[in-house]
């Protein structure tokens, strides 16, 4: 739990971090078709009871750490208005895939976002030429290529010019990028060469995701 609290405090230092709600899933439209009378009665009794309060991101993280022994992250999707714990489901070299039960995935390399899956308007792959600067906490400039699938199924690369430097808070490195009529700023906290906490831009539709490492 102490690790969760430290990560949560670290996340508050990131510039522009927006609050995110918890994700909740409703019943599907066909969920009641095959219910028995007993199930209906049980549901009516449950409906008469006060709804349980939604878990805070801290409580959700603590529970996930308790029940899942593997690597975990917590991701706050600002445009979607929800925060979710994601477990690692696969690893290919330095690339790790973290997924929700709904099979929404983030692909990370040492904490650097390099792709998304299952979210819609997904980032096919990111090629951040600024990554060495970010991991070293150094200043400089470079290019970032973000590849997206267009409506015709063809992958389209977008190249951005980026500068890297110290952020407004101690221990925070910021990456400012512009190109194709868009500007965005990524924020990173690096520990031992790994990005422990970050706020990274997925794309113009999905916007930013805040990623916290719960268990490396």
pLDDT of residue 28: 34
At residue 8, what are phi and psi to the nearest 5 degrees?
Answer: -65, -40
In a domain, 191, yes or no: yes
Local confidence band at 27 (pLDDT 50, 70, 90 cut-offs): very low
The residue that leads in pLDDT, 15 or 193, is 193
Local confidence band at 151 (pLDDT 50, 70, 90 cut-offs): confident
Within 8 A by CB and 6+ apart from 71, the residues are 87, 88, 96, 98, 215, 216
In a domain, 25, yes or no: no
In a domain, 14, yes or no: no
In a domain, 188, yes or no: yes
pLDDT of residue 53: 65
Q: What is the pLDDT of residues 68-104, one digit of tens each?
A: 789 999 999 999 999 999 999 999 999 999 999 999 9
In a domain, 174, yes or no: yes
pLDDT of residue 215: 95
The residue that leads in pLDDT, 194 or 66, is 194
CATH at residue 118: 2.40.360.10
In a domain, 15, yes or no: no
Mean pLDDT computed over every residue of the chain = 82
Q: Which domain holds residue 77?
A: 58-215
State yes or no: pLDDT of 15 exceeds 50: no
Local confidence band at 37 (pLDDT 50, 70, 90 cut-offs): very low
Structural domains counted in the chain: 1
In a domain, 179, yes or no: yes
In a domain, 2, yes or no: no
State yes or no: pLDDT of 16 exceeds 90: no
């Amino acid at each position: 739990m102490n690790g969760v609290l430290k990560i949560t405090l670290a996340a508050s230092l990131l510039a522009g971090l927006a609050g995110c709600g918890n994700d909740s899933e409703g019943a599907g439209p066909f969920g009641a078709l095959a219910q028995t009378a007993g199930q209906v009665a049980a549901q009516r009794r449950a409906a008469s009871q006060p709804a349980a309060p939604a878990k805070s991101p801290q409580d959700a993280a603590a529970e996930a750490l308790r029940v899942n022994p593997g690597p975990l992250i917590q991701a706050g999707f600002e445009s979607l208005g929800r925060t979710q714990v994601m477990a690692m489901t696969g690893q290919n070299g330095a690339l790790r895939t973290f997924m929700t039960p709904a099979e929404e995935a983030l692909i990370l390399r040492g904490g650097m976002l390099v792709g998304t899956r299952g979210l819609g308007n997904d980032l096919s792959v990111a090629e951040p030429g600024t990554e060495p600067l970010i991991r070293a906490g150094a200043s400089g400039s470079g290019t970032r290529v973000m590849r997206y699938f267009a409506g015709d199924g063809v992958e389209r690369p977008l190249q951005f010019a980026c500068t890297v430097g110290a952020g407004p808070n101690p221990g925070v490195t910021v990456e400012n990028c512009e190109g194709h009529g868009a500007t965005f700023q990524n924020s990173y906290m690096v520990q031992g060469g790994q990005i422990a906490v970050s706020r990274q831009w997925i794309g113009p539709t999905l916007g930013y995701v805040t990623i916290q490492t719960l268990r490396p």
